[in-house]
Structure 1
Amino acid sequence: MSPEHAPTLLVVDDDPAFNRVLLRALSQRGFDTYGATDSEGALELAQDHSPEFIVLDLNIGGESGLKLIRPLLEASPGVRILVLTGYASIATAVDAVKLGAIQYLAKPAEVDAIIKALRADDVIIGEHVPDAPMSVDRLEWEHIQRVLAENDGNISATARALQMHRRTLQRKLARPPGGA
């Protein structure tokens, strides 16, 4: 990177404190940073600033961040998107890459690991996602996330597809496996 050109980076995470901390850390490492805490703000900033890189949380305000990948790519063609999540799984990693993300990291992730992943040419999912057998709760969570992604984040459509009451689905989504 040349001294006169700081690469532009957008952080999309609905946790304002985490968003600020990550923006500050990336700014200190030479990026021109912008942050959004919701989908609308993310799309607006992507259109206004055409970032070279985006760090996208998998869960934005209770909705799947995966549904933002394509609109972000349309708003800023050529952008390199890294999906960052506290609930890493092979299934969501594969879905993220199929949708156009270039990398997938589990939280907590070091800032240097984020930068390295953003600049990497190869996606290496196995290093970032645990390969231990999943619990039944975790398998259910993964299945729900896959069906939710197939329904573009629509809770009602997902509940119908799972033959589950909408409120039951909302409760399950509010309590990811692992007690978070």
Structure 2
Amino acid sequence: MQKAVFLDRDGVLNEVLNHRVKFVNRPEDLHLLEGVEQAIRQFNEDGWKVFIVTNQGGVGLGYMTEDELGEIHDRLVDLLEASGARVDDIAYCPHMPHEGCVCRKPEAGMILELAEAHNIFLGESYMVGDREPDIQAGRNAGTRTVFIANRKNKKIGADYHFKDLISFSNWLVNGKGM
């Protein structure tokens, strides 16, 4: 079995709710946060599988189609690959908030599905997010949890706290996370 880092998208990998972009509903709305490419490259080089798990209720609410979401994710992958970083898979929940599906975080469906498909040992893996539903999804799946406090969000009860993804990556690949 392999170890993995499961990453929330908005607020962990890319800008959201700031002066430049409110929500990412088009490829041109996607702007990576500083250090994201380097962090993912470090995960790759250290042998971690990297997955993105993201709630995308904008699909269910009609703000974008699944094809348009695919274009956004294609741009994300292209930006990462241009700097030598690789994502192994992306899972998303297109359902509206409060729809009651098993995939929308805080439920663990996306993480569990990826873990089964890619032979991941969840007990040695991490779920990284910037909101309580991300952390709860990681707990529900049996991963360790990492809270990224890169916006004006309150500190929550995750296993670990970092200011950004590159800070977590530096800590993890330097042997502190094992």
Q: Which has the higher contact order (CA 8 A, sep 6+)?
A: 2
Query: For this structure pair, what is the TM-score category when the shorter chain's length is used for normalisation?
Result: 0.3 to 0.5
TM-score (norm 1): 0.43
TM-score (norm 2): 0.44
**Which has the larger helix fraction?**
1
Looking at CA atoms only, which structure, 1 or 2, has the larger radius of gyration?
A: 1
